[in-house]
Chains A and B, each alone.
Chain A
Amino acid sequence: MRKHYYILLALLLSTAVSAQDRYWVFFTDKDGVQFDPYTFFDGKAIERRIKHGLPLDDVSDYPLNTSYVQTVTNGVIIITGQSRWFNAVACEATEAQVAWLETLPFVRAVRGISGVQSQLAVADSVEQVSSKWTLLLAQTKRLGGDLFRAQDIDGKGVRIAIFDGGFPAVDLADEFKHLRDENRIVKTWDFVKEKEFVYAYNTHGTSVLSCMAGIHKGVPMGLATGAEYLLARVEKGSVRPLEENWVEAIEWADQHGVDIINSSMGYTTRNYFIEEMDGKTSLVARATNRAVRKGILFVNAAGNLGDGGWKIMITPADADSVLTVGGINPWTGFHNTFSSYGPTWDKRMKPNVCAFGDVVIRSKKGTSFAEGTSFASPMVAGFAACVLQHDSTLKAMELFKTIEQAADLYPYFDYAHGYGVPHARNVLNVRQAADTTFDLITKSGERYIKIRDNAFCTDSVTNWQEYVEQDGWENIHEVEKVGRGLLENLMIEEKVHQKMPCHLFYHIENSKGYLDKYFVVKVNSKEVLILSEVELEKGSTLRVHYNGFTNTYHF
């Protein structure tokens, strides 16, 4: 009988051993710590601080008090990371050790660390409805990449960090040869294994980098082929990645002078509740906001949970200063069903902008189709690099606003597209006020949009087969005989949308300032039913966008 109790006891003890967890230990001060910004920071980090009017000698950049760190090190299982910005160390500790930590006079707080991270991408899963070349050319053209390139704008002089799970083949693949030849991968660090080598592990980072910097057989895969890069491996894929790696990587990127950080990852259900997606709760959201305050534009994928139970964006895409990027389907021209929606839990607009969620990427094995907001995000990060090269005086939040204002739905927005897809023409040229394309009319208690004759357009040719039939070609192979160039041009112009399609976008904003409902409507005639009177509450706002023109109606 006693023997059996031992077995039960062993079972219970095993739980006690497993009860150890990871914690942030926040210190009260940095008293007595020395700091020299000129030896610590890269020259570009100092330049950025000067540009943003930030002090070089900021206590948040000071190292931690070593005696505090040593005391904690002696009393916990292991130290797993540290943060200057948060004046904290990360550690593994038992609950008893946590109780001891909380008694230390220099410990301000002890908080649990988020454990498991989700990585965003579903590579090689896109149905091959279009040629690889078509999509490859279109994915940059949709953002006006051709206009940037015509002015020799490719992110030159801009430094970008990528946080991901690994970068296999970046040291070998032809798509990145120009980066290697010109020594434009300026720093690498594996925060998981704490070493420089990052050219292995998860291929997701390679794919993300290709969407900014890759060149496939002479065709740019992203917009920032001329930028400099820092590659940080911050997670092991889906196996217990570490929030502290993320925070350390941000500080590392700041130290080495990056202008832009792209992260195509984030945290969701395992770490947080949906109501914690408020940009304030998660440490990574707070860390990214802090990075922006130090002059770095932080670009993050919205997430791929739009068609799942979670549905809204991941963190840190919920942070107010993060440029959150959603995905659109190149063939329908609007929201990818998988792309996570906004708003944040405190009802701020997210995503901010969007780009193709289906792209051609370079993975470990070669080029292929892939889908995910993971790839929309670097497309926009590349766009940001081009904008910054075009106007290097822009501060981080000015750059953020410029990108939003360059998007093709702007000033219209919704929680699936943000302001739409940014385009180079809206950066390089002064944006002209759009002609009025519709009027709001009221008839029998219902509200209609009447599209003006000269503005009405259709998107009837959205299917390649239809195009073939309409133009009298017998089949696609006949077109191919004419030549790849013609085929590509036709398909890019007609099948893969090069601008937001002529759909009617409208939303209803309530008196509290956030959207209650929003719609995308395919218009088949010039008169479109919007809604009845009863659906518009007093104080609400109706905002409608059609064919480049947005109008706002207050009720």
Chain B
Amino acid sequence: MKQYSALIGLMLWATIGWSQTILMEEDVNEDTLVANWGPNRANHMYGITGVGFVASETEGAGGDIKYGNSSQFIFGYVYKRKLAEWYSVGLGMGVTRTWYRLEQDSSKILPDTLLHDKERLVLDNFYGEVYNRLSFGKRGDYMGTYLDFGLYGSYKMGAKHTFRDEHHPPLPSGATTTKVTNKGMDYLNTLNHGIMVRFGGEFFALYGRYRLSDVFNNKGAHYPELPRLIIGLHINTPSY
């Protein structure tokens, strides 16, 4: 019986409910909560996507690279923990793909002395970073201008050595171009580390990465060390 009463009550309530339409309903206390997450709140996280360029020289002869074409794509996430209005610490992680396009000249020894029409080393890394952030100027919940500096470590997820040759006349098979990709090179270090700097604002940041460790391990110790410095620009994607 109690069940029926409840049902009837519910039906009556529903009938009454239909006789009105709530056009607007505001809960003031919900509207005035202080957020913990935001560009200048205690916590902030945002994505980065950018492009960098190799900006230093190969250390030693035989491994010159082509500037402009030797570049890096970076994609990652950055987390910031605010400790003071002007100082934060943070973590970052993401992936990079770095292309080293090799000059083809008689001095070349990286990774061998053979000359090709085009040749490159491609390194894919997962990276993690810890950084300090100095922020400038008075601002609201807004990233403002900042300088990050810290350390990064990277793990080699993959690497390939690619070269391409064009054939005139064509090869007996009829091919005019051959492209060869070598993987599993054992002369590369799996782990690397370096220092990072980032200077930017709400939407863009200039970044620099300087690798302190060597790309090549003992098996590649005779190779000239690849350029250590990459400078680039990344955009900041939607933040939390």
Contact = CB atoms under 8 A, between A and B. Distances in A.
A275 B16 contact: no
Interface in A311-344: 311-312, 332, 334-335, 341, 343
B28 A514 contact: yes
A86 interface: no
Contacts of B21: 521-522, 524
B115 interface: no
7 contacts: A11-B197, A14-B199, A268-B140, A271-B139, A516-B29, A522-B20, A525-B20
Nearest to A520: B24
Contact of A521 (B22, B139, B141, B145): B22
Contacts of A312: 31-32
A273 B23 CA distance: 29
A515 B22 CA distance: 18
Interface residues on B, range: 35 or more
B240 to A, nearest CB: 11
A477 interface: no
Interface in B22-69: 22-29, 31-32, 34-35, 40, 55-57, 59
Contacts of A11: 197, 199, 206, 208, 231
A111 B195 CA distance: 34
B170 interface: no
Contact of B210 (A4, A343, A517): A4
Nearest to B200: A15
B197 A416 contact: no
A269 B141 contact: yes
Nearest to B34: A275
B137 A519 contact: no
Given A4-B228, A7-B208, A529-B16, A15 B24 contact: no
State which size class the interface on A falls in: 35 or more
B46 to A, nearest CB: 15
B29 to A, nearest CB: 6
Contacts of A527: 16, 19
B140 A271 contact: yes
B121 interface: no
B195 to A, nearest CB: 8
B20 A521 contact: yes
Interface string B208-222: 101000000000000
Interface in A163-222: none
A523 B145 CA distance: 52
Given A273-B140, A345-B32, A522-B23, A18 B17 contact: no
A276 B138 CA distance: 13
A466 B25 CA distance: 27
B203 interface: no
